[in-house]
A and B are shown apart, each in its own frame.
Chain A
Amino acid sequence: MGIGKSINRVDAVEKVTGGAQYTDDFSVPNCLVAKVVRSTIANGWVKSFDLSEAEKVPGVVKIVTCFDTPDIQFPTPGHPWSVEPAHQDVSDRKLLNRRVRIYGDDIAAVIAEDEVAAARAARLMKVEYEEYPVYITPEQAMAEGAVAIHEENPDNVLKHSAFHIGDVDFDQAIAGEDVRIVEGEYQTQTVQHCHIEVPVSYAYMEKGRVVVVSSTQIPHIVRRVIGQANGIPWGKVRVIKPYIGGGFGNKQEVLYEPLNAFLTMQVGGRPVKLELSREETLSCTRVRHAIDLKVKTAVRPDGRLVARQVIAVSNQGGYASHGHAIVANAINNFRHTYHDEKSLQADAYTVYTNIASGGAMRGYGIPQAAYAMESHMDDIARAIGMDPIELREKNCMQQGYVDPMSGITCYSSGLLECIRKGKEYIHWEEKRKAYQDQTGPVRRGVGMALFSYKTGVYPISLETSSARLILNQDGSAQLHMGATEIGQGADTVFIQMAAETIGFREENIHIVSTQDTDVAPFDTGAYASRQTYVSGMAIKKTAELFKSKILDYANYMLKIPADQMDIRDGNIVNKESGEQLLTMEKLAMEAFYSLDYSVHITAETTNHCKDNTFSFGVCFAEVEVDIPVGKVKVLDIINVHDSGTLINPRLAEAQVHGGMSMGLGYALGEQLLFDDKGRPLNNNLLDYKLPTSMDTPELHADFVQPTDSSGPYGNKALGEPPAISPAPAIRNAVLNATGVAVNSIPMNPQKLVEQFQAAGLI
């Protein structure tokens, strides 16, 4: 009924008419404006402030500094809380910080009547600092004698982790073997999410409680962290999440809501709006970690991987945020995606520096891993003279794989079919042949890359979600979710899922899009491509319960055993014949208003998900490289995904387009730059090269749809995966075109010209 149909988004009409309300669209009377005052050094201490000039600015209501905020350290990542202290997130942040760790660190806040007054006061504040050397790279931060950015980590290493698969190490594995050793170092850059709506919140007090309206992916987690950061009971906090203008992981982070809650408490509960500028968003929220990966592989002449070694070093920036989880995820992916005959050793380091803090961003470490791993696979293929696809097929994950460390099982894999489809689409064989031995300034190439991606965070973290259904008098239903719509289409597919299981038409299920922690069921929110899987299972369970309650009431009304009836098209029917027995409206009216037996039919269940599975996909790209000017034009590109059964193919396709676009920016242009003082150089949308429509080629998406037995409707992760493989596919296409292996991204024109010059092509 509901699954597999490309219905229009349920929020589309609101969004094309301006009716959809985002955080800043709520008009709050007498609202004050807050502005964060930012440090003008990247490493050191605030010694003192001189507020005398700033306080004189007309319209300034209050200035609070890092000397006024509670001495509480709290964590900011949008992870489920752990009741075991050893598994809790790193608490290294305060509402405002005396210890400055990035350029633009939060050291004070001005509350004013309007933004001009707030900005003027912020400019007039005088700050005295104690300054330390600034570390931009992990190498600098790990050097002998470097100042500790956090006293808890004297060597600036937030964490080191390692694993080893196999009984022998690399050298033992290759002893006496006929193998070729291939080595490479692959560097990824700092990039930012660039959701078009900047982080914004309103905070005010109501009946002794703090209410925060915020643009967030994770309202229930925001509530918890506001409580933790301010030292107030969580029940005294109410968080409301309206429509949001994109998040991509940056709003899977508790950014400024705790500070805004603090600020409203400083002005007697008057509403305070705290909206970041685009510049602050780019350099003072979160970024995707720059990770360097060194990979060494021993491969047999027939392409079988014998052993690999991986060392990954992740630039964390000033605060832990999601911290080590991301680079750990990256190295785990080496283990998942390809299997070595004898040995895989992997090490990961997360290192504090003084640049913007790395956090969650679409793909959570896997775009970095895939760039390195898939570039490396093409390097191996060249080294042994093998077709890169054949090499991959020989070593990649197969259905039935069980991760020896986490137990995550590959219940379904359409990977080989994805490869076949992509290969056919791009005309792989013909083009690889045609593009051999090119000369001249403009050359073409084709390349590909694949990925595997797990769904949700189990078993590393808790996976839990609740859903609620309520029958209305007219026979329609309300669906309440804790899971959030962030633009990906969650509300629409949730409705389709509920419709499928209950037997309702989609138009008779009304979803409550806004999460208000006072009334929304609990769910940790939108991240890890988890919601269709984890929250989808909550919908399925809830819908089954809801259906059985309806059928029980039908049994009361009709005296027909419940198991002989069903719900189809929203009405009670004879299960065998399909004959309509009772309209839902009639049943609902009776249930509400019967003088004999009034029942309000509702259902709510929790899904504690203790499973996981892998989704897969490939990207194939054809490029034209204009060598003398270093430009890469993507002539054709396709992503083929295995995300299991698609709930809404049209929206799935749209999701893939967006991920591909993000992958293209990652490959060719985006990079957030800092100077040697840690100052951001390009934290605006002119200088940060987010692709425009003229930089984006036609995007093609295709799917294979094996049913995954662990997914509620045969489905598995889709949200993040599309961003993973375009960058290495394009890199490999450039390699095919020019013979030049570009081992760092972005492959921007200057870098390409330099490498082409070094290779003698210019």
Chain B
Amino acid sequence: MLKIIQMVVNDKPVEVAVDGRESLLDTLRNRLGLTSVKRGCEVGECGACTVLVDGEAIDSCIYLTAWAEGRRILTVEGLRGPNGELSPIQTAFVEEAAVQCGFCTPGLIMSAVEIVGSGKKYSREELRKLISGHLCRCTGYQNILNAMERIVNETYKVVGDGK
């Protein structure tokens, strides 16, 4: 019943035996101990389980692990610097009081990684759309957008027009 899957998780090659019925959410949480990936609805509506697969944000609850063969997976556990320092996105979430209960936070941070990674400058309205796949009941999204705007602007200053 088990099948060996090879993937790169948080920059580390991983070989893991999985049940073919598992979602990537199940595998990351239960087999790899990456519990930042949260289960909130299991149907791709809340965004709490968002991870990056080959750089794109997806809901890991509706992604079969079998599809992850050979792909690169990134979760919040993979964001810290070599000495354990927070990434600028994580720092922005802390300092902008964008965190309350914290359950939607890791997923949102992963979307932020995708957004910031594009190197583009986004308006606040565009950012609203880019995080609209995450439901948050605590913050009204206000401080999350503040954190996103801050980090997008900081990155744009450094990276410029992506040139």
Contact = CB atoms under 8 A, between A and B. Distances in A.
B60 interface: no
A12 B95 CA distance: 9
Given A20-B102, A245-B103, A686-B45, A197 B38 contact: yes
Contacts of A655: 100
Contacts of B95: 8
B129 A21 contact: no
Interface in B32-57: 33-43, 45-46, 48
Nearest to A8: B94
Contact of B101 (A27, A197, A277, A661): A197
B138 A487 contact: yes
A560 interface: no
A488 B100 CA distance: 6
B124 to A, nearest CB: 8
B130 to A, nearest CB: 9
Interface in B71-99: 75-77, 79-80, 86, 90, 93-95, 97, 99
Interface residues of A, number: 58
A648 B42 CA distance: 35
Contacts of B77: 17-18
B141 interface: yes
A50 interface: no
Interface in A74-124: 116
Interface string B123-144: 0000011011011111111111
A17 B132 contact: no
Interface stretch (A157-165, A454-462, A694-702): A694-702
Interface string A183-213: 0000000000111111000000000000000
Contacts of A15: 99, 102, 105
Interface string A651-668: 101110111111010000
Nearest to A652: B97
B89 to A, nearest CB: 8
Given A654-B139, A657-B139, A699-B140, A9 B97 contact: yes
A245 B140 contact: no
Interface in A736-752: none
A194 B135 contact: yes
Contacts of B37: 18
A196 B137 contact: yes
Given A17-B36, A17-B76, A245-B102, A685 B46 contact: yes
Contacts of A439: none
A225 to B, nearest CB: 23
B145 interface: yes
Given A25-B35, A692-B132, A657 B94 contact: no
Nearest to B77: A18
Contacts of A16: 76, 86, 90, 93-94, 99, 102, 105-106, 109
B93 A684 contact: no
B97 A278 contact: no
A659 B142 CA distance: 12
Given A487-B138, A658-B139, A278 B41 contact: yes
A21 B79 CA distance: 18
A488 B142 CA distance: 15
A684 B129 CA distance: 21
A18 B75 contact: yes
Nearest to A114: B19
B99 A18 contact: no
Q: Is the interface of B mostly helix, strand, loop or mixed?
A: loop
Contacts of B21: 116
B142 A698 contact: yes
B102 A278 contact: no
B116 to A, nearest CB: 14
A24 B143 CA distance: 27
A244 interface: yes
A685 B45 contact: yes
A13 B86 contact: yes
B48 A654 contact: no
B134 to A, nearest CB: 7
A196 B48 contact: yes
B97 A246 contact: no
A26 to B, nearest CB: 9
Contacts of A696: 128, 140-142
B104 interface: yes
Contact of A694 (B45, B103, B105, B128): B128
A278 B40 contact: yes
Contacts of B38: 22, 196-197, 245
Contacts of B76: 16-18
A653 B138 CA distance: 12
Interface in A262-276: 275
A489 B100 contact: yes
Nearest to A660: B140
A703 interface: no
B15 to A, nearest CB: 20
A11 interface: yes
A30 interface: no
Contacts of B128: 693-694, 696
A601 to B, nearest CB: 32
Contacts of B48: 196
A363 to B, nearest CB: 14
A160 B51 CA distance: 51
Contact of B45 (A17, A658, A684, A698): A684
A486 interface: yes
Contact of A12 (B45, B99, B104): B99
Contacts of A651: 97
Nearest to A487: B101
Contacts of A654: 97, 100, 138-139, 142-143
B35 A18 contact: yes
Contacts of A248: 137
Contacts of A275: 39
A364 interface: no
A690 interface: yes
Contacts of B36: 17-18
A193 to B, nearest CB: 7
Nearest to B87: A16
A246 B101 contact: yes
A304 interface: no
Interface string B9-30: 0000000000001000000010
Contacts of A24: 29, 35, 39
Nearest to A278: B41
A698 B102 CA distance: 21
Given A9-B97, A693-B131, A686 B43 contact: yes
Given A245-B101, A699-B140, 14 more contacts: A14-B102, A18-B76, A22-B35, A24-B29, A195-B101, A196-B46, A197-B38, A197-B40, A243-B101, A278-B43, A658-B100, A684-B45, A693-B136, A696-B128
Interface of B: 21, 29, 33-43, 45-46, 48, 75-77, 79-80, 86, 90, 93-95, 97, 99-106, 109, 128-129, 131-132, 134-145
29 contacts: A8-B95, A12-B97, A13-B86, A15-B99, A16-B99, A16-B106, A18-B75, A21-B35, A22-B35, A24-B35, A25-B29, A195-B137, A196-B103, A245-B101, A275-B39, A278-B42, A654-B100, A654-B138, A657-B139, A658-B100, A658-B139, A662-B137, A685-B135, A692-B132, A693-B131, A693-B134, A693-B144, A696-B140, A699-B142
Q: 9 tightest A-B contacts by CB?
A: A18-B36, A487-B101, A245-B103, A661-B140, A15-B102, A685-B45, A657-B140, A25-B35, A16-B90
